[in-house]
Every structure is written in C-alpha cells, then in structure tokens.
Structure 1
Amino acid sequence: MRMIAAALLMLPTLVPVPTRAEEIAQVGVDWIGNDIVIEAIADPDVGGVTCHLAYFERSVLDRLSQGNWFEDPSNSAIQCARTGTIDVGRLQPGSPQDVFSEGRSLLFKSLRVKRIYDAENRVLVYLAHASELSEGSAKMSMSTVPLLAEDTGGGPAR
C-alpha cells in the first residue's frame, strides 16, 4: 500500500508538463454551474503560435448528482493562430511533441495538446486529445498553422 501511495505522489514528476495554460474565460452553460473553460497556451518550443483550448468543467452539483466525482469529460476544442514569427529550426518533421498536458481525473485521464511539424506542406498541426490509462479516447480536435516564407529553419517556401 505504501508503494502505491509513493508512486502516486511521484506521478506528477514522472509526467513532464511542457507549458502552462492561462485561463482567459469561463462560460456558464447551465443552471447547476457547469462551465466551458477557455485557456491560452503559448507554444514553448516554437514561439509565435498561441493555441486556445476549450473544455468542459463539471460543477460540484453535477458531480454529486451524476457520481464519477473525480472525472471531467474528455471533450475539447482547439484553435491555434500565428502571434509572431515562427522558428521551426529545432523541430523534427512528423514527430508528435508534447505542448501541454492537464489532468482531467484524479489519476488516469489527461487532456493533451501535441504538435506535429508537417515540413513537406509547411504547416504546424496541433492536436488536442484525451489520454486514458485503461482505454484510449476517440474525442479529439485539431488546428493547423501555415508557415510563411519568413519562418525560419523549415527550408525554402514553395
């Protein structure tokens, strides 16, 4: 039992969190206090890209009435935009990289944002998805940011 408790305490240090999100709004969706939370996430490795992530957050009343006290739904939406000059020089094409991760249950579910650099098409792809220990989730959202000729490190523009 002590081994399990120690492992659970170490869990946050074992899972790297690449960046933090800044909450910019909460939108109330019903009378019991459920909200949609919107956060801004600046890409820490690229610069010049900010993603806005929206997800559902259950109220205390909803948690009491529905059970499943420690878990929020996996639904999310993402939209990313150019906010400055983009430097893709350090990115590996086609290799998904973590940008953001946030727990959606007490232990085993998280909401993640990954970046994929599509060098051939000169596009950054951002994927928001749920990650669960026991089973995967088909709930996802995707956004793309086209790269311009002045963006560095990605080779010549077409």
Structure 2
Amino acid sequence: MNRLAALAIAAFAAVSLAACGDSRQVGSVGVDWTGNDIAIDAVADPGVNGVVCHLAYFNRSFIDRISQGNWFEDPSYSALDCSVVGPLTIGNISLRPGGEEIFREGRSLIWKSLRVTRIYDAANNSLIYLGHARELQQGSGKMSLSVIPLAGEQVTWTNGAPTPATTPATVNTQ
C-alpha cells in the first residue's frame, strides 16, 4: 500500500473517531447529499453557572474532503447564542479586557481551532461571549457574538462583585 493510501485511511479514521460520542452535541442538520452537516453543541460556561451557549459549526463529510482535496480542515464559520438557564453564580472569572477562553475545539489537524471567549463588560454590567476561529497565520474575521446583560438577573458573585464602572459606555448620537 502506498503512503498516500495509508495517509487517507489514517485521516478517515481520525475524522470518524473525532465525530463519535460528543456529549455536548445537541443536534446535527444535514445540508447536502455529500453528508456535510451543521453541528450544534451546548457549551456550559465553566466560570458562570446558569449560562449555556449554543454553538453551531460546519462539519465536512468524507466525500467533501476527497472532492475538495483539503483533508484536514473544517471551515471557520460558526454561530453562537448564549442564554440564562437559571440563577447566575459567577465564580473566579477574568475581568481583563481580553477575557478568557471557555471552549476550544480543533478545526484542522494542527493549526486552526474554534473558540468561545467570555469578556466581562463592567461599564454595561454584561457578559459578552465571542465565538471565533484562531489560526496560526492569516487570522480569520469570521465571528459571532452573544451578550448576557446582568442587570435584572439574579446574580451571585462567589468572590464578591467587582466595583461598578464609574462611567457608563457612551454612545455617539450624531
């Protein structure tokens, strides 16, 4: 058996195993005759009890991988929506402007990943969830965003609430 055939078999096995048994997956919708799917995962925020994000992304089929020639990579496109599903208990989360990553899944053999980053917006008392791809080079502008306003919600901060922002975000109305 030549090297290319052995590599193809190994790639098929890796893709098949990666698709099996993901307990986060809540749905999958077929989008064409080749077997391409849009998968939907439920991602609970590990630092904020009471928030669940639903992340939709594209899964390429074996037939599509053969016909396109790009065996080891899935597209970066994703959609994200986060919801309050119960009382909010906020643990030791990052308050830095860059936030912190709460989810990561590989979208290629090595270099590309799909991520969800949580950012606390102190001025607007909100949690921002950003779904985005990270690539080694030629970063992707493909992203989606969901916001959970904390005002009006039952919120418990386990380490004490951060000090309120002194100036609210300003909006230019001109």
- Does TM, scored on the shorter chain, surpass 0.5? yes
User: Which residue in the other structure is 1:80 paired with?
Assistant: 82
1:30-69 to 2 correspondences below 5 Å: 30-69=32-71
The 8 Å contact of residues 56 and 73 in structure 1, kept in 2 or not, is answered as yes
Query: How big is each residue's C-alpha offset from its partner over 1:106-127, in whole Å with a ceiling of 9 and x where there is no partner?
Result: 0000000000011221110000
Is the aligned partner of 1:128 residue 2:131?
yes
1:1-158 to 2 correspondences below 5 Å: 22-88=24-90, 90-93=92-95, 94-149=97-152, 150-153=154-157, 154=161
The number of equivalent residue pairs is 139
Runs of 4+ in 1 over 4 A off after TM superposition: 155-158
In the alignment, structure 2 segments of 5+ residues that lack a partner are 1-21, 169-174
The 8 Å contact of residues 105 and 114 in structure 2, kept in 1 or not, is answered as yes
The 8 Å contact of residues 47 and 91 in structure 2, kept in 1 or not, is answered as no
Measured after TM superposition, the shift of residue 32 of structure 1 is 0.7
The 8 Å contact of residues 23 and 37 in structure 1, kept in 2 or not, is answered as yes
Q: In structure 1, how many angstroms separate the alpha carbons of the residues matched to 2:122 and 2:91?
A: 11
Measured after TM superposition, the shift of residue 37 of structure 1 is 0.2
Higher relative contact order (CA 8 A, sep 6+): 1
Q: In structure 2, how many angstroms separate the alpha carbons of the residues matched to 1:58 and 1:118?
A: 35
The 8 Å contact of residues 21 and 41 in structure 1, kept in 2 or not, is answered as no
Q: In structure 1, how many angstroms separate the alpha carbons of the residues matched to 2:150 and 2:141?
A: 28
SS of the residue corresponding to residue 33 of structure 2 reads: coil
Q: TM-score, normalised by structure 1?
A: 0.81
Q: In structure 2, how many angstroms separate the alpha carbons of the residues matched to 1:127 and 1:136?
A: 15
Q: TM-score, normalised by structure 2?
A: 0.74
Larger Rg: 2
- Cα separation, partners in 2 of 1:21 and 1:50, compared to 1, 3 Å: farther
SS of the residue corresponding to residue 76 of structure 2 reads: coil
Q: In structure 2, how many angstroms separate the alpha carbons of the residues matched to 1:92 and 1:73?
A: 29
